[in-house]
Amino acid sequence: MPPDLRTRLGSVELPNPILTASGCASSGRELAQFIDVSRIGAIVTKSVMLAPRAGRPTPRMAETAGGMLNSIGLQGPGIDAFLQRDLPWLLSRGARAVISIAGSTVGEFAELAARLSDAAGVTAIEVNISCPNVEHRGQVFACDPVDAGAVIEAVRARTRYDVPVFAKLSPDVTDIVSIARACVAAGADGLSLINTLLGMAIDTDTMRPVLAGLTGGLSGPAIRPIAVRCIWQVSEALPNVPIIGMGGVLTGRDALELILAGASMVSVGTAIFHDPSACARILRELDEELARRGTERVSELVGAAHDVRAAGRRP
């Protein structure tokens, strides 16, 4: 019997727990040249904003050891073009669509949620309150429990009751659990952990920052231990809140590590840049990892690392 990979995302059932990470798969169309987008758990779209956005100047990317810095700055077509072009395409391909939204005010988030409530086929909303590539770091709602809660409350109020709302949090905080608690108290159905970490690289030849935006978000396997720690801490404190885990997952075994820490779904991000078929491969590898351990259902292993009785259990 192959392992049962079905996963619940709020009120929705996904065929498996492997998702794309927001900002790493656009709206799925490009990836469809390499993988069947309906076969993975869901496509999490690049964050959609109200208006079209040009993003930050180039250079926007710096490769670092085991990772990369990006300062894209939420370039995108805006909600009108997204609803007209991208969402219908995703649905036509049989993909489940988790829509990431980003705004610079609570009102913008609320308006985006309202626009999405009128659209059919939205599996869930992921609220990006943690993008580090905004003009002022003070605008990162996920750095403050009150600000984070205000956004989530506004989005939850404007979102259809049957569409789960996930808050995407930043690891760049002293106490991620307090932010997580504030989001859940404000109505978040789940949490997405983690966004990129704010980083910087300097070109030693030009003696200037590599990125035109000076700072950027660090992603890739270099940050996986931080993702594991954040997922662990939050699932320890809030064991019944579903978590989408992300941060440097390159293989099925990496995905399993996040699941063991407490994630019931895993998003694949930077790995897609390295391997456009990464999601399909990681799904296959996860399936093999579970089969080798004789696991019947992936849900059995969510947060299993917290269980002291499981210590020493071997496949």
Partner 1 sequence: MTAGDAQPESGPMQVRGTVLTVRRVDAYHAITVVAPGIAARFKPGQFVTAAVGGPDTAMLSRRAFSIHDVRPDHGGTVEFVFAVVGPGTRWLAELRARDVLDLTGPLGRPFPVPRDPVSCLLVGGGYGSSPLFALAARLRERRCTVDFLLGAASGDRIFGALTARRTGRSATITTVDGSLGVRGVVTDMLGQVIHEARTDVIYACGPMPMLRQVTALARRYEIPVQVAVEEAMACGIGVCMTCVLPVVGTDGITRMVRACVDGPVFRGEQVRWDDIGTIPFDALGAPGWEPRTRTAAAGDAGAAGAVAGAGQARAAARGRRPGNAS
What residues act catalytically?
Answer: 131
Q: Which stretch binds partner 1 (CB under 8 A): 4-12, 223-231, 269-277, 285-293?
A: 269-277
Least distance in angstroms from the C-beta of 86 to partner 1: 13
In the list 68, 150, 176, 246, the residue contacting partner 1 (rule: CB under 8 A) is 68
Query: Per the omega criterion (within 30 degrees of 0), is the bond before 59 cis?
Result: yes
Given 6, 8, 12, 59, the residue binding partner 1 (CB under 8 A): 59
Q: What is the rounded distance in angstroms from the CA atom of residue 75 to the CA atom of residue 236?
A: 35
Per-residue tokens: 311: 């210590």
Tell me the three state secondary structure of residue 142: helix
Residue 66 in the binding site for partner 1 (CB under 8 A): yes
Of the candidates 107, 105, 155, 99, which has an alpha carbon nearest to the alpha carbon of residue 126? Answer: 99
Which of 11, 78, 105, 175: binder of partner 1 (CB under 8 A)? 78
Determine the 3-state secondary structure of 116 from DSSP. Answer: helix
How far apart CA 259 and CA 219 sit, in angstroms, is 19
Does position 67 bind partner 1 by CB under 8 A? yes
Pairing of strands 208-209, 12-14: unpaired
- Residue 139 CB, shortest distance to partner 1, in Å, is 13
Binding mask 99-138 for partner 1 (x = CB under 8 A): ------------------------------------x---
Least distance from partner 1 to the Cβ atom of residue 90, Å = 14
Minimum distance, C-beta of residue 151 to partner 1, in the bound complex (Å): 21
CA angle 176, 177, 182 (to 5 degrees): 100
- What phi and psi, each to the nearest 5 degrees, are found at residue 88? -60, -35
Q: Which stretch binds partner 1 (CB under 8 A): 9-17, 152-160, 179-187, 264-272?
A: 264-272
Residue 268 in the binding site for partner 1 (CB under 8 A):
no
37 in Cβ contact with 93 (< 8 Å): yes
By CB under 8 A, which span of 53-61, 121-129, 180-188, 307-315 interacts with partner 1? 53-61
Pick the piece of the chain touching partner 1 (CB under 8 A) from 28-36, 258-266, 285-293, 302-310: 28-36
Q: Which element (helix H / strand E) includes 218?
A: strand 215-219
- Could you say whether residue 83 binds partner 1 (CB under 8 A)? no
Per-residue mark of binding to partner 1, 1-20 (x: CB under 8 A): --------------------
Residue choice 72, 194, 231, 279 for contact with partner 1 (CB under 8 A) = 72
Gyration radius from the chain CA atoms: 18
Establish whether the linkage from the previous residue to 194 is cis, with ω within 30° of 0: yes
| Residue from 137, 274, 284, 297 binding partner 1 (CB under 8 A) | 274
According to DSSP H, which parts of 137-296 are helical? 145-158, 176-185, 224-237, 252-261, 270-274, 278-292
Tokens of 39: 């076969």
Give me the least distance between CB of 49 and partner 1, in Å please. Answer: 9
Task: Answer yes or no: are the C-beta atoms of 281 and 275 closer than 8 Å.
Answer: yes
HSE of 202, CA atoms in CB hemisphere, 13 A: 3
Instruction: Rule CB under 8 A: say whether 178 interacts with partner 1.
Output: no
51 makes contact with partner 1 (CB under 8 A): yes
- Spatial neighbors of 221 by CB under 8 A, at least 6 apart, are 66, 67, 248, 250, 254
Q: Which residues in this chain contact partner 1 in the complex, by CB under 8 A?
A: 24-26, 30-31, 33-34, 46, 51-61, 63, 65-68, 70, 72, 75-76, 78, 135, 208, 212, 220-221, 270-277
